[in-house]
Structure 1
Amino acid sequence: MQIAIDGPAGSGKSTIAKILAKNLGFKHIDTGAYYRWVTYRVLSENVNLQNAAALIRTAEQTDFAQIDETKIRSKEVTENVSTVSALPEVRRCVVAQQRLAARGSDIVMEGRDIGSVVFPDAELKIFLTASVEERARRRYQELLDKGEKADLAETQKDIVERDRKDSMRHASPLRKVDDAVEVDTTGLTIEQVVEKITEIYKERK
Structure 2
Amino acid sequence: MSKKITIAIDGYSSTGKSTVAKQLAAELGYVYVDTGAMYRAVTLYLMRKLLVSDTHFDKEAILRHLPFINISFVFNKEVGYGEVHLNKENVEKEIRLMEVSQQVSKVAAVPEVRKMLVEIQQEIGKNKAVVMDGRDIGTVVFPDADLKLFMTASTEKRAERRYNELRDRGEDVKFEDVLANVKERDYLDTTRDDSPLIKAEDAIEIDNSNLNLEEQFEKVVKLARNKIEE
Task: Name the TM-score, length of structure 2 as normaliser.
Answer: 0.86
What letter corresponds to residue 24 of structure 2 in structure 1? L
Matches of 1:164 and 1:97, distance apart in 2: 26
Q: Give the secondary structure class of the aligned counterpart of 2:197.
A: coil
Between 195-204 and 176-185, report the one with greater CA deviation: 195-204
1:57 to 64, 67, 91: 64
Q: Compute the displacement of 1:91 (Å).
A: 0.3
How big is the shift at 1:140?
0.1
Cα RMSD after superposing both structures: 1.2
1:11 aligns with one of 15, 22, 45: 15
Partner of 2:48: 44
Instruction: Return the alpha-carbon distance in structure 1 between the equivalents of residues 137 and 63 of structure 2.
Output: 21
- Using the aligned pairs only, state the percent identity: 42
1:20: which partner in 2? 24
Q: Is the 8 A contact 1:20 1:108 kept in 2?
A: yes
Q: Deviations over 1:50-105 (max 9, x none)?
A: 22122223333211022420110011110000111101111001111111222324
Pairing of 1:162-181 with structure 2 (within 5 A): 162-181=185-204
Residue 137 of structure 1: how far off its partner (Å)? 0.4
The count of corresponding residues between Structure 1 and Structure 2 is 205
Q: Which runs of 5+ in 2 are unaligned?
A: 73-84
The one-character-per-residue Cα deviations of 1:132-191 (angstroms, maximum 9, x if unpaired) are 111000000011011101111221111111100000000100000100000011121112
Moved over 4 A (4+): none
Q: Which moved more, 1:121-130 or 1:95-104?
A: 95-104
Q: Distance in 1 between matches of 2:226 and 2:16?
A: 22
Is the Cα contact below 8 Å between 1:59 and 1:94 reproduced in 2? no
Q: Which moved more, 1:99-108 or 1:123-132?
A: 99-108
Q: Secondary structure at the match of 1:179?
A: coil
Specify the alignment match of 1:103 in structure 2: 126
- TM-score, reference length from structure 1: 0.96
Give the counterpart letter for 1:189 in structure 2.
Answer: N
- 1:78-117 superposed matches below 5 A: 78-117=101-140
Query: In structure 2, what is the Cα distance between the partners aligned to 1:158 and 1:186?
Result: 18
Report whether the alignment pairs 1:187 with 2:210.
Answer: yes
In structure 2, distance between residues paired with 1:10 and 1:72: 15
The one-letter amino acid of 1:36's match is: R
What is the CA–CA distance in structure 2 between the aligned matches of 1:9 and 1:58, rounded to whole Å?
A: 27
1:38·1:58 contact (CA, 8 Å) conserved in 2?
Answer: no
Match of 1:73 in 2: 96
Q: Please, which moves more after superposition, 104-113 or 47-56?
A: 47-56
2:76 maps to what in 1?
Answer: none
Q: Which has the higher strand share?
A: 2
Structure 1 residue 6: Cα displacement: 0.2
Structure 1: state its 5+ residue gaps. Answer: none
* Structure-2 separation of matches of 1:17 and 1:119: 15
Tell me the residue number matched to 1:143. 166
